[in-house]
Structures are given as structure tokens and as C-alpha cells.
Structure 1
């Protein structure tokens, strides 16, 4: 009896963990056509899965509330790191890398796969 209850509780917790996953987690199609994976706990790592820089981690974001995220983004071509921010809207993620305190930003939109 105890074993059945333990298995049921474990299964429920596993399913609940998947249900509470942050909506930013998953695979995204970048504006240039590569696939990037976003995952993690408190900080979400951004890792390229396809393309010339596959396997390279290009950023880290933390939830800032109201479907917004903040952290750092690295340009894989130059290895320069910028203040990063992202805004989630449905299945679109607007990514921005900024310099000079957000005065100059470069943005692109990614789409959830």
C-alpha cells in the first residue's frame, strides 16, 4: 500500500514540475534560422543547438516579472557580451542586446518550436 501511494505521489510531482516549467524554457528558432535551447532554474542558459556555433552558450537570463527577462547576451561571432533582455509574447521572444545602459540596442525576434 505504502509503495503504491509513494509511486502515485512521485508521478504527480514529476507531472507538476513539467506543468510549472517557465514558458521561456524550450527550443527557439532564431532570426537567422538556427535553433537555440533555453533552460535552467533560477538563471536560464541560452545554448545554440544548430549552426556554426552549435553547443556554445550565448547568454543567461533571469525572470524579471511580467514575461520579461534580464541578464547577458553574447554575440557568438565576436564573443562580445552585452546587457541582455527578453520579452515573451505568446510564442514569440523579443531578444535585445544593449550597450551604454540601454541607449543602443540590437534586437531580434525568436519563435518557439
Structure 2
């Protein structure tokens, strides 16, 4: 029984480490100069502002892996949520939010 617990603990720890190594996880600088933290949450990732006038507000939820993600992104000033995509390339995160997949806006955030 003790060996089984150790094996399960080791497997669970390994899964957490692999998930944490995904390229999206970390701190990013928004176009307004705020810090946005992307962390794993549930089966995906959450974006939470860590500085600026909306500090503490969750502004996105995404699912995906290996640098390509889909989900929802919220404009904290307008308090409107849009369908969005995120792609990670090196130390840059490109966000794209769309209304009805027709009218889209993009931003690029550097990694901090």
C-alpha cells in the first residue's frame, strides 16, 4: 500500500511539472504595461491581472497546448468577453479577440 501511494504521488507530481512547463504559463506585459499572470486552472489556463487598475481581475480562460490555445478573453475596461486565441512564439504571446469571428483585434505581449 505504501509503494502504491509513493507511485501515485510521483505520477501526480510529474503531471503537474509537465503541465507547468507549457509555454503559456508565466507573467506577461500587456500593451498597457500591466502584468498579466497565466496559470494552470482546471483543465486549462487562466489569465489574471497582477498590476494596474484592474489588479486581481481574471480576464481570460483558455485551453490548448504546445503554444496554441482557444478560449475567452475579457476587456476589463468595457467588461465585455470575446472568443479568442493565443499563440506563443519564443518570448511573445499573441492574443486575438473576435466578435462573431468577423471583427478581430490583436495584441502582442512580451514575457516578463
Q: SS in structure 2 opposite 1:51?
A: coil
Paired position in structure 2 for 1:97:
97
Q: Deviations over 1:29-82 (max 9, x none)?
A: 11111000001152101000000000000010100x552100000000011000
**RMSD across aligned positions (CA):** 2.3
**Bigger radius of gyration, 1 or 2?**
1
The alignment status of 1:42 with 2:43, answered yes or no, reads: yes
Paired position in structure 2 for 1:80:
80
After superposition, residues 17-56 of structure 1 pair within 5 angstroms as 17-18=16-17, 20-21=19-20, 22-40=22-40, 41-56=42-57
Q: Deviations over 1:77-105 (max 9, x none)?
A: 011000011111011000011012x2111
In 2: Cα distance, 1:16 partner to 1:62 partner: 16
Paired position in structure 2 for 1:110:
109
In 2: Cα distance, 1:36 partner to 1:26 partner: 8
The alignment status of 1:61 with 2:68, answered yes or no, reads: no
- 5+ residue gaps in structure 1? none
